[in-house]
Structure 1
Amino acid sequence: MSPHKAPDSSRRSDRSRRAIYDAALALVGEAGYARTTIEGIAARAGVGKQTIYRWWPSKAAVLMEAFIDVGTRAAEEAGDAGYAIPDTGDLAADLKLVLRATVDELNDPVTEAPTRALAAEGIIDPVLGAQFVEKLLDPQMQLYVTRLRSAQEAGEVRDDIDPRIALELLIAPLTHRWLLRTLPLTHEYADAVVDLTLRGLATGPAE
């Protein structure tokens, strides 16, 4: 008779964490951040609320890790391509491709509410805000820096351009329109942002 095998606590913990991540994202999307509670997340995930409090200090911290987990899983599924902006030799086309994908993500009803919640909470809570920048924004921004530096080496972008400032010219307009809901956030708008930005970055004369 084979000996009894003890339960794998690490596997059980991983399942619980994933269930909590999914519950947090779903509840914020359905009810809004203000109406989402630790108790609600625990009930949705099928765990005790003390389990959540043992791992996270707040619902904002749960949401932050849930977002990081989503990004990690997406990158794993995408493979190496998930860690870089395409470099086809056509900077405008590469940036338009990425900004269009960003538009789709910002407009996705599954992630829009949680993203807004984290951005807003990060303004109120400086510690959370710093984590939001460090863990979620900076890794994505670095991809733009890398692609723009490649364009500088290829002679497409002026040497005196600071890639970090240049990427803000690309990202900030989309974020502004999305946050304020002033006008629809569309692929056409993303393309226009790229075209206008590159007129100021390019080494050749403006068209």
Structure 2
Amino acid sequence: MPDPTRRSEHSRQAVLQATRELISELGYAKVSIEGIAARAGVGKQTIYRWWRSKGAVVFDSFLALSEGADGMALPDTGDIEADLKAVMRATAAEFTDPAFEAPIRALNLEIAGDPELAALYREKLAGPVDEAKKERLRSAQRAGQFAEDADLDLALELLYAPLYQRWLLRTAPITEEYADALVDHLLKAFRP
């Protein structure tokens, strides 16, 4: 007898893959639930049974890109500068990778207009990722490499907001050198 959970997982993965492909090929505005269903080989009702909106499908398609990663912990080699530069370079690479960029842009459009999706994003992705980042900064504080009295939420905003703004507005290229410069300036401000 066939296992319905296996079939469901196969359909779920097909929908998520189809969503990413269509966003990359057509752009977010032209992607529809009907198009996703057709590409994935499932009925529209299957999609609506699992997701409440196109934005929710886009969110899960983006979240699925992170599945299978080794948790959310940041590297901790004992050298906060090297670790932050590795993370910021990886972030810069993600933001410039077409496989990530189109879904990230689409997700940002949806989050901007959907408070419920924004809350889900904070709960499932942004919150846990930020907590992992703050844990790495706490480790640097304990090692005397980062100011003990630093506001860690503010430190993360100072580190990531310029990169995000440059990406969002396409004002300049996002390079490894730029990622490194952001880390250098953050550490200049927050060294003990």
Amino acid at match of 1:110: A
How many Å separate the matches in 2 of 1:34 and 1:174?
Answer: 25
Letter matched to residue 39 of structure 2: R
- Aligned length in residues: 192
Match of 2:45 among 41, 46, 50: 50
Please, which runs of 5 or more residues in structure 1 have no aligned partner? 1-5
Map of 1:10 onto structure 2: 5
2:166 equivalent among 169, 177, 180: 177
Structure 2: distance between partners of 1:150 and 1:110 = 32
Identity %: 55
Per-residue CA deviations over 1:137-172 (Å, capped at 9, x if unaligned) read 112111210011011111111111011211111111
CA drift of 1:16 comes to 0.3
In structure 1, what is the Cα distance between the partners aligned to 2:91 and 2:127? Answer: 15
Contact residue 145 and residue 164 of structure 1 kept, 8 A: yes
Q: 1:180 & 1:140 partners in 2: Cα distance?
A: 23
For the residues of structure 1 that align with 2:186 and 2:65, how far apart are their CA atoms?
Answer: 30
Deviation at 1:83, TM superposition (A): 2.6
Equivalent positions of 1:159-178 (< 5 A) are 159-178=148-167
Q: Distance in 2 between matches of 1:128 and 1:108?
A: 24
TM-score (norm 1): 0.90
2:27 is aligned, of 28, 32, 35, to 32
Find the aligned partners of 1:116 and 1:34 in 2 and give their Cα distance. Answer: 11
8 Å CA contact 1:118–1:132 kept in 2: the answer is no
How far apart are the structure 2 equivalents of 1:158 and 1:32? 43
Indicate conservation of the 8 Å contact 1:25/1:66, yes or no: yes
Structure 1 letter corresponding to 2:140: A
Q: Tell whether the 8 Å contact from 1:119 to 1:129 is kept in structure 2 after alignment.
A: no
Supply the RMSD in Å over aligned alpha carbons.
Answer: 1.0
Residue 65 of structure 1 corresponds to 60
Larger Rg: 1
Deviates more, 1:51-60 or 1:93-102: 51-60
What amino acid maps onto 2:24 in structure 1? G
TM (normalized to structure 2)?
A: 0.96
Q: Is the 8 A contact 1:24 1:41 kept in 2?
A: yes
